[in-house]
C-alpha cells in the first residue's frame, strides 16, 4: 500500500505595501508585527483600550524634570506636582504616561489600572555638555514589570561619541525585555559633534538615520522628532540628502519608511507651540504613516481645562486614522 503523501502547509502572509516610490508607508498593526505574546498584550492595552483606541498612540511624558530640570514647570506651576499629569492622563484618556522610576513609585499607585505607564529606564540631566551624550540606566526592566508598566522607554543618542557604550547598554535592556515580554520604545536622538558636522540633529539625514538605528537595534516603537527640511540641504549634509528638495510630508514619509513595517513611529511634540501649528503637526505625522504622538509641554504647560480641550481636539483628529 502506497503511503499517503503529506502536503506541506501553505504559509499565509499579510504583507504590508512595500512598493517603491513616494507612497505613504502603511502604518504597522499588531497583527502584522512579529511580537511575542507579552509584548502584544501590553501594546494592545495602549493601542486599543486607552488613548484614541483605534490602533494609534497618544503619550503624555513627564521625564523633563530630570532631563531639563524644574524650569519647565514655571510656565504652569501646578504641573510641578506629578498628580497634575496623572489627572490629565486619566481625564484625557491618554494611551500612557511616561515617568522615571521615582515618580512612578510615588504617584502611579493612585492611578493603577486607569492610566497605563511607560517606565523611562535611562536618563541624564542637561547640566553637562551633550556632545558626548549618554544616558545611564536609572532603573531596570524588572522595575517596569513590578510597577505594572506596559512598555519601557530608552533614550539612545545616535552618533554620539558615547554611542558604543550606549548600544552595549541597550542590548542588555533589549535582552531583558525579550525575556519579560516588555515592549521597547526608543527615544532615538541624533546628538554630538559628528552629527553637527553632517547637517545637525534636526536634518533629514540625522532623523532618518536615527529611525533606522532604532529598528535595527530591536525597538518596537521609535520616538523621533520631525525632520526640518530647511536644514537638510546644507553643504556638509551627506549625499544624497543634500540634494533632496523634498517638502515636509515627503521627509516624514521617508523616516517612517526607514523605520520599516515592523516598527511603529511616534513623533515628538517638542516645546510648546500655538494650537494651529500643533494641529498641523498632528496631521503631518498621522497623514504620513506615523502611529502616534507624544505631547508633554504642549499639554501640561496649559491650565487643566485648556489642556483637556486641546487633548480632545488632538484625539478627535487621531480617531480619523
Give the distance from CA 239 to its chain's centroid. 27
Angle ∠(307,225,321) on CA atoms, nearest 5: 65
In this prediction, residue 4 carries a pLDDT of 58
Residue 24 within a domain: no
In this prediction, residue 11 carries a pLDDT of 47
Domain count, the chain: 1
For position 235, which CATH number holds? 3.20.20.70
Residue 23 within a domain: no
In this prediction, residue 144 carries a pLDDT of 98
C-beta separation of 119 from 153 below 8 A: yes
**What is the rounded (10 degree) CA torsion for 199, 201, 207, 211?**
130
Phi, psi of 256 (to 5 degrees): -70, -40
Residue 304 within a domain: yes
Residue 46 within a domain: yes
pLDDT tens over the chain, length 321 residues: 555 555 555 545 555 554 445 577 889 999 999 999 999 999 999 999 999 999 999 999 999 999 999 999 999 999 999 999 999 999 999 999 999 999 999 999 999 999 999 999 999 999 987 777 999 999 999 999 999 999 999 999 999 999 999 999 999 999 999 999 999 999 999 999 999 999 999 999 999 999 999 999 999 999 999 999 876 666 789 999 998 989 999 999 999 999 999 999 999 998 888 889 999 999 999 999 999 999 999 999 999 999 999 999 999 999 999
Residue 238 within a domain: yes
What are the residue numbers of the active site?
189, 223
In this prediction, residue 101 carries a pLDDT of 98
How far is CA 165 from each of CA 123, 133, 134, 171, 185, rounded to the nearest angstrom?
Answer: 14, 11, 8, 10, 19
In this prediction, residue 100 carries a pLDDT of 98
Question: How many whole angstroms separate alpha carbon 36 and alpha carbon 223?
Answer: 21
Question: How many whole angstroms separate alpha carbon 244 and alpha carbon 156?
Answer: 27
Residues 6+ apart with CB under 8 A from 21: none
Residue 74 within a domain: yes
Question: How many whole angstroms separate alpha carbon 7 and alpha carbon 42?
Answer: 37
Question: How many whole angstroms separate alpha carbon 190 and alpha carbon 218?
Answer: 17
Which of 83, 108, 95 has its CA nearest to residue 304?
83
Residue 273 within a domain: yes
What is the extent of the structural domain holding 50?
37-318
Residue 20 within a domain: no
Q: What is the pTM of this model?
A: 0.92
Amino acid at each position: 500500500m502506497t503511503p499517503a503523501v503529506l502536503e506541506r502547509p501553505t504559509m499565509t502572509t499579510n504583507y504590508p505595501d512595500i512598493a517603491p516610490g513616494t507612497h505613504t508607508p502603511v502604518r504597522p498593526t499588531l497583527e502584522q508585527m512579529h511580537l511575542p505574546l507579552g509584548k502584544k498584550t501590553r501594546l494592545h492595552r495602549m493601542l486599543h483600550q486607552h488613548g484614541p483606541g483605534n490602533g494609534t498612540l497618544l503619550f503624555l511624558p513627564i521625564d523633563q524634570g530630570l532631563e531639563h530640570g524644574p524650569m519647565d514647570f514655571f510656565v504652569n506651576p501646578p504641573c510641578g506636582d506629578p498628580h497634575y499629569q496623572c489627572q490629565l492622563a486619566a481625564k484625557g484618556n491618554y494611551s500612557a504616561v511616561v515617568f522615571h522610576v521615582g515618580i512612578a513609585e510615588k504617584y502611579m499607585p493612585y492611578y493603577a489600572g486607569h492610566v497605563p505607564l511607560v517606565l523611562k529606564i535611562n536618563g541624564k540631566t542637561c547640566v553637562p555638555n551633550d556632545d558626548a551624550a549618554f544616558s545611564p540606566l536609572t532603573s531596570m526592566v524588572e522595575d517596569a514589570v513590578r510597577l505594572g508598566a506596559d512598555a519601557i522607554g530608552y533614550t539612545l543618542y545616535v552618533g554620539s561619541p558615547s554611542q558604543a557604550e550606549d548600544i552595549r547598554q541597550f542590548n542588555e535592556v533589549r535582552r531583558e525585555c525579550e525575556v519579560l515580554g516588555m515592549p521597547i520604545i526608543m527615544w532615538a536622538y541624533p546628538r554630538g559633534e559628528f552629527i553637527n558636522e553632517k547637517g545637525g540633529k534636526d536634518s533629514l539625514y540625522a532623523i532618518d538615520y536615527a529611525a533606522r538605528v532604532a529598528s535595527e537595534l530591536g525597538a518596537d516603537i521609535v520616538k523621533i522628532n520631525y525632520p526640518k527640511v530647511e536644514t537638510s540641504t546644507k553643504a556638509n549634509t551627506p549625499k544624497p540628502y543634500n540634494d533632496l528638495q523634498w517638502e515636509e510630508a515627503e521627509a516624514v514619509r521617508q523616516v517612517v519608511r526607514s523605520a520599516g513595517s515592523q516598527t511603529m513611529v511616534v513623533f515628538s511634540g517638542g516645546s510648546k507651540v500655538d494650537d494651529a501649528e500643533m494641529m498641523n503637526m498632528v496631521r503631518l505625522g498621522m497623514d504620513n504613516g506615523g502611529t502616534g504622538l507624544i505631547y508633554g509641554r504642549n499639554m501640561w504647560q496649559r491650565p487643566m481645562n485648556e489642556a483637556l480641550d486641546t487633548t480632545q481636539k488632538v484625539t478627535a483628529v487621531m480617531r480619523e486614522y
